[in-house]
Amino acid sequence: MATKRIGKQTVKLQNPPSIIATACIVGPKEGEGPLRLYFDEIIDDELFGEKTWEKAESKLMRETFAKVLKKANKTAEDIDYIIAGDLLNQCLAANFGLRESEVPFFGVYGACSTMAESMSIGSMLVDGNFADNVVCLTSSHFCSAEKQFRFPLELGTQRPPTAQWTVTGSGGVVISNKGNGPYITHITTGKIVDMGIKDVNNMGAAMAPAAMDTIVSRFMDTGFTPEDYDLIVTGDLGAVGKEICDELTREQGYNISKVYNDCGLMIYDRQKQDTHAGGSGCGCSATVFAGFIYKKLLEGVINKVLFVATGALLSTTSSQQGESIPCIAHAVSISNTIS
């Protein structure tokens, strides 16, 4: 009998692990955004001194790993597992960026939901006494993502207003069984939700029902209400998706408007930075969480957060074959107190 499960999709951690450190590195555009003061490092060149975008993204991952270890005052030997993933085919950035880490490694793919997915698995490993310290990290890179999923960078096309801008950045956290919080208390694992949207330039609308599904499941499984949280934050729904998610959740009887925000809207100034509907990518939720939200938790400005990273699980092949976009959202509760 699984004693830690409550409801259909949620797990209540009996020994809530702490997030003892976070680190994030972002690209130049993110470094001009409203959260610039919260990031640990802003690189001034998208290539990060490398020859290809893929190598640059791998380096982002590698450097973030080094940085988060340093901030946690740990060495690679103290880490029992790395759980990491990214958007590139075969999780290129994670596999190549961390190949010299010499730490047992789980590669995960949840598209832009990867940060919450890796934190979910990582905290369950620690709670289950399978590990003392786990590093969870993800990355995305605007240029490598454009190359793989869309068009060459120099092609003179226009982006529709619903399109989002892939964040160049990498964020990581160290989850530990020792520490004084913030604690990961509950995990709600998302189901794959596909409402039939096929427009790859409107991922926010495609992902919104998945986010709603996970948020509502969380409330139903735990009995919590929106008032129990200081912040409910989705990963990268952007302006279009956020509005839809807010409305769909309200239709289910939960009004989250007062505490609801979206990492894709927080990371850029949409008007000034021409990012259309907002930011996206694994790095979006990862850097906003590791940079901004974690620091606000430490400061005590917010005490309980529902972090819901959202992912569109499409591939270039599936969209060319006319398939709709399956989506997912994973939710992690982070709290300054163990309730």
Partner 1 sequence: MGGTICIIGQFISNLLKMKGLGQDETASLTSILMISIGALLTGLNVYDDIGRFAGAGSIVPITGFANSIVSPAMEFKSEGYVMGVGAKMFVIAGPVLVYGISASVIAGIIHFLLR
Q: In 128-186, which residue ranges form alpha helices assigned H by DSSP?
A: 142-149
**Which residue reads 């992912």 in tokens?**
311
Nearest approach in angstroms of CB 225 to partner 1 is 44
Site string for partner 1, 9-48 (x = CB under 8 A): ----------------------------------------
The radius of gyration computed from the CA coordinates of the chain, to the nearest angstrom, equals 18
Q: Which helix (H) or strand (E) holds 81?
A: strand 81-86
Length of the chain: 339
Residue 52 or 339 with smaller CB distance to partner 1: 52
Size of the site for partner 1 (CB under 8 A): 15
242 close to 213: Cβ distance less than 8 angstroms: no
For 274, residues 6+ apart whose C-beta sits below 8 A from its C-beta are none
Nearest approach in angstroms of CB 50 to partner 1 is 10
Residue 159 or 295 with smaller CB distance to partner 1: 159
Residue 178 or 272 with smaller CB distance to partner 1: 272
CA gap 123, 102 in Å, rounded: 21
CA gap 263, 266 in Å, rounded: 5
188 close to 234: Cβ distance less than 8 angstroms: no
Residue 54 or 127 with smaller CB distance to partner 1: 54
User: Residues 254 to 313: which contact partner 1 by CB under 8 A?
Assistant: 274
User: Residues 143 to 162: which contact partner 1 by CB under 8 A?
Assistant: 147, 151-159
Residue 154 or 299 with smaller CB distance to partner 1: 154
Determine if 51 is a binding residue for partner 1 (CB under 8 A).
yes
User: Residues 165 to 224: which contact partner 1 by CB under 8 A?
Assistant: none
**Which residue reads 């989250």 in tokens?**
256
Residue 47 or 76 with smaller CB distance to partner 1: 47
Interacting residue ranges for partner 1, rule: CB under 8 A: 51-54, 147, 151-159, 274
